[in-house]
Amino acid sequence: MLQAIGLTSSSRPHTPPVVDDLTFEARPGSVTALLGEPGSGKTTALRLMLELEPGRGVTYFRGRPLHRIAYPGREVGVLLGDVPGNPSRTVRNQLRMLCAAAGVPSSRADTMLEVVGIAGLRDQRLGSLSLGMERRVALASALLADPCTLLLDEPAAGLSPRERGWLHALLRGHAALGGVVLFTTDDAKEAARSADRVVSIQAGRLVADQDAADFARTRLRPRVAVRTPHAARLADVLGREARAARRAVEIVAESGSRLSVYGSNCAEVGEAVFRHGVLVHQLADETGDAGAGATSVPQARAGFPATGPEAAVVPGARAEAAPEHPRDGARGPASVVRRLGGPLRPLRYELLRVFGTATPLLTAALVVAASVLTTLALARVGHTPQNRLLAAWPALLPLPPAALGAGLLGALAFGEEYRYPALAADRGTLPRRMGLLASKLGVCGAIALLLGASVVVADAAALALVFDSGPLRAPVEWLAPAASWAGLLVGSAWAGVLASGVFRSATAGLAAVLAVPVVVVPMVRRVLDGPTAYPVGGLGPRLRNLSWVQWPPEADRVLLGALRVLAQPVGAALALSLMVLLCAYGFTGLRSRVRW
C-alpha cells in the first residue's frame, strides 16, 4: 500500500505551491494513474513522495516513509526522466553496477534484459539507444531489486502504440503479483485504458480519485467512431439530419477517413448511413476525451454546440495480458531474488562503476604519455633533481601529470554520479553513508598508487632508453621520497573525491585539487616559514616512550619521514584541505536521511 498524505511543495513568496495538500493512495495488486495536464504537478508529487523535493507531507510505503527503509531500491523502483547513466557505459555494465548497489547478484542484470526483451542489446552503449529501448533499460533498472512499488513518470511518453501496449502489459503483470504501480500521464485515454484507478489533479490539487470505469463514464464522453472513404459526405449528412432534428451533435474529423460523432449512437449513425447509401468500414461505440491533433468540422455542428473530446479510447479495453515472464521482475510468492549484503557491497558497486567505462584506462594512458614527454624534456635541459625527474614535475607546474590524473579520477567518483545519476541522486536512492565514501576513497587511492607506480616505471624506462640511464643514479634514501610521492597522489585523489561529493560536480572536484598548490600551499608556507620558539627534534623517541607498544628504533625513520612529508608546504596543504573537505562532506552529505 502506498499512501501519500498532505503532499505540499515549498513555494516562493506570492506564488502558489506546485503541489498543494495532495492526498491519495495506490493499492497493491492494481495499477494507479496520476492524471494531469503538463505543469499540473505530477512530477513534483513523485519527487515529494521520494523526499527529493522540499515541502510538507509524508508518503508511506507499506507503512514506512522512505527514509526509514534501510534499502530503498528494494522497496521502490523509480523512473524519472531519461535513462540515468553515462552514455559511454554499456547496457549490461549499467545494470550490473545497479545490481551491486541494490545488493542483488549480477546475474539479475541478464535476467532483466531477457524480461524487457533487449538481451541482444546488452553490449550497446546507452547513448546509442532509441527512445523505446531506453524506456526498456529504465524499466529493467527499476525492476532489478524486485521492488514492491513502482513509481514511473510518463513512462509511455514518445513510445509507439505497440511499445505502449507492451509497457502497460508489463506493469499489469507486476501488479497481478501483488505489486503497487503508480504512473503519471497527461493522456486521459491512456489512464482509462491502462489503469485500475485514476487520480486526477489540476494545479497541484486533487480533482478526483475514481475507479477507471467510473472515470471513463463520468469524465469521458461516449462517441461513435466511423471509418469511411466518404468522410466529408457523411459528416455533411449527419450534420443536416442533426440540425433537422434539433439534436446536439458534434462531428470531429480525426484523419482523412475517420470521424468521431459525439451526442449520437451507433444505431442513429447506422440508420443515416443506410438511408443515404454511404459506404463505411468501421462503426463502433467508443469513449473519448479532449485530445489534441483532431480538427473539428464546422459545417457538421448541429443543434446546441457541445464541447467534447476529440480522441478515442475503447471502453473497458484494459491491457490484461501479462508479460512473457510474469514471475521475473514482479513481487509475488514465486518471485525470489537472492540478496547480497555486507561491507563489500559498496566496494562491488564502486569497482563496477569505475571500470565500467574506458575513462580510467584513457586517463592513465594520457598521464603516462605526458609524464614521459615531460621527463625527457627535463632530462635534456638538465639541472632537475632525480626525484622530480622521475615524477615528471617541473618547478613551474603546480602539480605533476600523475597527481592531476589521480585528482581527475577522484573528482569523477561523485561528479559522474551527479551528472549521470545511475543511483538516482535525484531519486532518493543514492547511498551517502560511510561505507560508500570509504569504498570510493579506497578504490581511488589504489588507482592513484598504481598510476604513480606506472609513471615512475615508464619515466625510468624512457630515460634508460633515450639517455642510456645517464640522468639516473642509485638513490641513497628511497623511503621518504616514495612516501612523499604516494601521499601526494593519494591526497590528490581523495581531495577530488571529497570535493566532488561536497560540490556535486567533477569540475569543482578537479578545481579543488588545483587549488591546493595554487591557493593553500602559499598560505601554509607563510605559516611554516615563520619562527618557532620550541623545536620538535626527538619527537620519535618521546612518542615511543609514551606508547603501550614499544616499536623498534627503525620505525623512527618511517615516523620522521612521514612528519617530514607533512611538514612540507604541499603535504601540510593537502592534509589541511582533506580535513576541511571531510568535515564539509560530513555536514552536507552524511546528514542525508537516505541510508546505504
Residues linked to residue 262 through DSSP beta bridges, in sequence order: 223, 250
Three-state DSSP class for 248? coil
| Mean pLDDT for the stretch of residues 23-27 | 95
Is 3.10.20.30 the CATH number for 2-218? no
Tell whether the torsion through CA atoms of 135, 201, 77 and 83 is positive or negative: positive
- Segment 348-380, tens digit of pLDDT: 889 998 999 899 999 999 999 999 999 999 988
**Which pLDDT does position 125 carry in this prediction?**
93
SS3 for 8-71 is: EECCCCCCCCCCCCEEEEECCCEEEEEECCCCCCHHHHHHHHCCCCCEEEEEEECCECHHHCCC
Other beta carbons less than 10 A from residue 355's beta carbon: 15
Could you read off the pLDDT of 522-550 as tens digits, one per residue?
776 666 565 655 555 555 565 556 555 56
Q: What pLDDT score was predicted for residue 324?
A: 38
Mean of per-residue pLDDT scores for the chain: 80
172-192 residue pLDDT tens: 999 999 999 999 999 888 898
Buried-state track 252-279, b at ≥16 Cβ within 10 A, e below 16: bbbeeebbbbbbbeeebbeebbeeeebe
Q: Please, which residues bridge with residue 77 across strands?
A: 150
Lowest mean pLDDT among 87-96, 197-206, 586-595: 586-595
Question: What residue ranges do the domains of the chain occupy?
Answer: 2-218, 221-308, 344-588
- The pLDDT score that the predictor gives to residue 423 is 59
Question: pTM of the predicted model, to two decimals?
Answer: 0.73
Q: What is the CA radius of gyration of the chain?
A: 33
Q: What mean pLDDT is predicted for residues 490-518?
A: 87
Query: Which three-class secondary structure state does DSSP give residue 375?
Result: helix
- Please give the CATH topology (third level) of the domain spanning 221-308: Alpha-Beta Plaits (3.30.70)
Mean pLDDT of 230-253: 87
Let me know if the fold of 2-218 is the same as that of 221-308: no
pLDDT at position 565? 55
- pLDDT for position 27: 94
